[in-house]
Amino acid sequence: QVQLVESGGGLVQPGGSLRLSCAASGTISSPNAMGWYRQAPGKERELVATSTRVGTTKYADSVKGRFTSSRDNAKNMVYLQMNSLKPEDTAVYYCYSNARGVSDTAAHDYWGQGTQVTVSS
Pairing verdict, β 3-7 and 33-39 = unpaired
With a pLDDT cut of 90, the percent of the chain lying above it is 89
Question: d(Cα 8, Cα 80) in Å, to the nearest integer?
Answer: 9
Q: Residue 45: its pLDDT value, please?
A: 97
pLDDT band at 100; cut points 50, 70, 90 = very high
Helix-, strand-, coil-residue percentages of the chain, each rounded to 5: 0, 55, 45
In 26-102, the DSSP E strands lie at 33-39, 46-52, 57-59, 67-72, 77-82, 91-99
- Out of 16-25, 31-40, 49-58, 80-89, pick the least confident: 49-58
Q: Residue 110: its pLDDT value, please?
A: 96
Amino acid at 113: Q
Q: Residue 1: its pLDDT value, please?
A: 80
Higher pLDDT, 29 or 45: 45
